[in-house]
Amino acid sequence: MEPTEESQPEAPEPGHSTNITQEEIDPETASKLRGDAIGNTMYSERFVLNTLMQFSDLKWSEEVENDLCVLWDMTEEKDVCEFLYRLSYPTLACTALANYTEPRFVEIVVGIFANLLCSKCESNVKEDEIRAVLDLLNSDDPYILIQVMRFLHALAFMCEKLDFFERRHFDKIMFILNNSTNRELLTVSLKALAALTDGTKLPLDVITPELLSSTLAAYKTLKNPDCESEVELFESQEQHLNAKHLIQIHCNICTYIDNFIYLTQYVAQIKANLGGFNFEMALLLRFYKEERNLIPMSDDFKFYVEAMTYIFKTIHVEFHAPIVRPLCEIYFIVNEKEPANLRCVAELICYFISVGTLNTIRRNFDNVPLDIIKNLLISIEGHKFKFDFEYIATLRRIALLL
């Protein structure tokens, strides 16, 4: 599936939890920042230099931490990031990471590095510097790992190829997805993995079915256990974001399978373990069968359905009633309210018709009123949709047997 603009992973943005604005800076901090300004900012070159000089002989203290946090906030300004690149911050940072293990120091240093990658500056980060940050995936500190994942997310947008990734790095990412209970870490890890797997940039030996099962495990951990229905669950924008990453990663892995014969060996294994993913997709579609959640049709919904269609077609998923049933209800709502958007819903229904046997399809529609099934089949045939698979013959045979 050619990714649409809406299906592209989100571009990285600078981030730091304190979010100090220039207006909020207290007089003592402001005095540190007066003097030789960096570019068009109010920030001082001398303050940056004095802060970085502490990397050579770190004496960790609250004052050092505060200075580094100010520098972290400063990197929301592109001029500051360009200045740090001129000072070879990546090299200084990686040298410091090799020498000091103070967790808060490591977290801030990597967080600043991640912001530099997000800044859209002309940059030249060396492979050994990238590997130094990748090695921090061995950390058991969730705050460090959150910044490492932010770094990896930004890196995915910066590099044309990600050949420096090794299987051991992805083993660590999968361990985090399978075992962490830190919601922020899991969320940023899914976001990073969605970006890393996009565009077939990774070495083929890191692409395995376990990536998908680990992604699903993280997604399930992030689900709110207090929600009593799919409607309540998906009223959360956070849940939609996690669902988008779950689907994007599955879609990206299918793109690898679609493009590299070597990876078709995984199709049977992925299909055999797709039950959990199918269950989550059925829940998502049941949320949208409520007209108030579906109309007006959102770009997110279009992405969900188009990506599901691509995934199921790529790995040849059989007829799956829990997904088809809410899709049929969605079809009628869209046909009445927004017929211009009907094609994406119809394609997924028609795909399932094309792969289902007559007995399977009839058996799975046992609880659906006969007139609804007939109206659905008549409507689909009447629209004369053209897809890259044949479905009309099966559709007509079903109609004759009803």
Answer whether 309's CB lies under 8 Å from 347's CB: yes
pLDDT reading at 143 higher than 90: yes
Structural domain contains residue 27:
yes
Mean pLDDT of 49-57: 94
Q: What is the pLDDT at residue 30? A: 56
Is the Cα dihedral 100, 187, 244, 168 positive or negative?
positive
Mean pLDDT of 329-342: 96
| pLDDT tens digits, 4-20 | 544 566 767 677 644 44
Mean pLDDT of 167-196: 97
Q: What does pTM read for this prediction?
A: 0.89
Q: What is the pLDDT at residue 11? A: 66
Q: How confident is the model at residue 361 (pLDDT cuts 50, 70, 90)?
A: confident
Structural domain contains residue 152:
yes
Greater confidence (10 vs 310) lies with 310
| Closest to 106 measured CA to CA, from 78, 77, 72, 74 | 72
Structural domain contains residue 331:
no
Residue type, 383: H
Answer whether 32's CB lies under 8 Å from 63's CB: no
Mean pLDDT of 100-117: 96
Q: What is the pLDDT at residue 400? A: 82
Total residue length of the chain: 402
Q: How confident is the model at residue 32 (pLDDT cuts 50, 70, 90)?
A: low
Q: What is the pLDDT at residue 369? A: 76
Cβ-based neighbour number of residue 60 at 10 Å? 13
Mean pLDDT of 288-304: 96
Q: Tokens 């044949």 label which residue?
A: 390
Cα separation, 203 vs 159, in Å, equals 13
**Domain span at residue 132?**
1-159
Q: What is the pLDDT at residue 107? A: 98
Structural domain contains residue 166:
no
Cα separation, 373 vs 252, in Å, equals 34
pLDDT reading at 397 higher than 50: yes
Q: What is the pLDDT at residue 8? A: 62
Q: At what angle do helices 142-158 and 103-118 cross, to 10 degrees?
A: 20
Greater confidence (400 vs 215) lies with 215
Cα separation, 172 vs 185, in Å, equals 13
| Closest to 110 measured CA to CA, from 94, 88, 128, 86 | 94
Cis peptide before 27 (omega within 30 of 0): no
Greater confidence (20 vs 242) lies with 242
Question: Phi, psi at residue 334, to the nearest 5°?
Answer: -65, -40
Number of domains within the chain: 1
Structural domain contains residue 226:
no
pLDDT reading at 103 higher than 60: yes
Structural domain contains residue 321:
no
Mean pLDDT of 253-258: 96
Greater confidence (370 vs 194) lies with 194
Q: How confident is the model at residue 31 (pLDDT cuts 50, 70, 90)?
A: low
pLDDT reading at 290 higher than 60: yes
Mean pLDDT of 139-153: 97
Cα separation, 47 vs 69, in Å, equals 12
Instruction: Select the highest-mean-pLDDT range: 295-309, 349-363, 388-402.
Output: 295-309
Q: What is the pLDDT at residue 19? A: 46
Residue type, 216: L
Q: What is the pLDDT at residue 16? A: 61
pLDDT reading at 21 higher than 80: no
pLDDT reading at 323 higher than 90: yes
Average pLDDT, the chain: 90
Q: How confident is the model at residue 201 (pLDDT cuts 50, 70, 90)?
A: very high
Structure tokens at 60: 């960790």
pLDDT reading at 365 higher than 80: no
- Per-residue H/E/C for the chain: CCCCHHHCCCCCCCCCCCCCCHHHCCHHHHHHHCCCECCCCCCEHHHHHHHHHHHHHCCCCHHHHHHHHHHHHHCCCHHHHHHHHHCCHHHHHHHHHHHCCCHHHHHHHHHHHHHHHHCCCCCCCCHHHHHHHHHHHHCCCHHHHHHHHHHHHHHHHHCCCCCCCCHHHHHHHHHHHHHCCCHHHHHHHHHHHHHHCHHHCCCHHHCCHHHHHHHHHHHHHHCCCCCCCHHHHCCCHHHHHHHHHHHHHHHHHHHHHHHCHHHHHHHHHHHHCCHHHHHHHHHHHHHHCCHHHHCCCCHHHHHHHHHHHHHHHHCCCCCCHHHHHHHHHHHHHHHHHCHHHHHHHHHHHHHHHHHCCHHHHHHHCCCCCHHHHHHHHHHHHHHCCCCCCCCHHHHHHHHHHC
Structural domain contains residue 207:
no
Structural domain contains residue 91:
yes
Mean pLDDT of 285-310: 97
Name the least confident of 22-26, 182-186, 270-274, 283-287: 22-26
pLDDT reading at 367 higher than 80: no
